[in-house]
Amino acid sequence: MKRTLKIGLSARLFHPRPGATGLDSKTLQYLEQSVAQWIMARDVLVFMVPSITQDGMLDRSSVRLSDYAQHLDGLVLQGGADVNPMAYGETALHPEWAGDRTRDMYEMELLFEFLESRKPVLGICRGAQLINVAMGGSLYQDIRTQVPESIEHVADSYDHHTHEVVLEEGGWLEKQLGQAPQRKIISIHHQGIRTLGRDLTVEARAVGDGMIEAIRGTGRGFLLGLQWHPEFRRPGDEDVLDCMPLLERFLEACRAGHWL
């Protein structure tokens, strides 16, 4: 009997609002339900990995993010706030694009701890962008502004918004997903990968503007970033790419400790 895998899921952060009272005056750490359920669809245990800060009321314990990397089998970096441009040597062109610097530092430390432990990592949307930045790459702070000829990557329809992607011929992603005719993905991002980080390769691009939509680490360890949201695909939706095979490869890598 196979042992049950334990998968870590990075936390989203809600910061206290100035002048707020009650729960809004506290720092909250949470996860988005759909991504947790997507991972759990293959009978694994999911654990939210909290950020470890020193601003709490209790004394900081000896627990470190490295302990999570040691005891968990793999890591999923979920979507959410923008990556702060300071992380790739720029200043925010507009205040609303400044993102969450605290979360950036927490997730980068978490990412490097899992990479150091040779544990598989899967990044979704912001998670893919964070992987790229952590590996020395950069982002478009706002695709619509900086690439005026781009297609629409985010819309008011939110998780109903789709566009087509093309997988790199002969790439790892194509080998896992085959030559299926449907190539629509659910897209919810205004930032995007600009320059590719070191030891990464492109696995998919958007049809229409060539925006990078998937990246993969070229080393021995499993490192994959998907710019889209596979967890928002509705069961039986034949128009949207089914990425369950990618989740299965990730979990198999968590069990084996290397690319499959």
125 classed as catalytic: yes
Determine whether 146 is exposed, middle or buried from the number of CB atoms within 10 Å of its CB (0-12, 13-18, 19+): middle
**Active-site hit among 113, 125, 203, 243:** 125
Pick from 256, 232, 260: nearest CA to 245:
260
**Active-site hit among 153, 203, 229, 243:** 229
229 classed as catalytic: yes
Pick from 97, 230, 214, 81: nearest CA to 162:
230
CA atoms within 13 A on the CB side of 57: 2
161 classed as catalytic: no
pLDDT for 27: 86
pLDDT for 180: 66
pLDDT for 199: 97
Residue 87 CA: distances (Å) to CA of 48, 64, 90, 173 = 24, 22, 7, 28
The answer to whether the CB of 207 falls within 8 A of the CB of 163 is yes
Q: Could you tell me the two tokens for 254?
A: 């968590």
User: Residue 117: CB partners within 8 Å, gap ≥ 6?
Assistant: 66, 69, 70
pLDDT for 58: 47
pLDDT for 62: 63
What is Dmax (Cα atoms) for the chain?
55
**Active-site hit among 107, 163, 231, 243:** 231
Query: In CATH, what number does 6-15+24-53+62-256 get?
Result: 3.40.50.880
The answer to whether the pTM exceeds 0.75 is yes
pLDDT for 177: 92
Blockwise average pLDDT, block size 10, the chain, 260 residues = 91 89 89 94 94 57 82 96 96 94 94 95 98 98 96 93 94 88 88 98 96 95 97 93 96 82
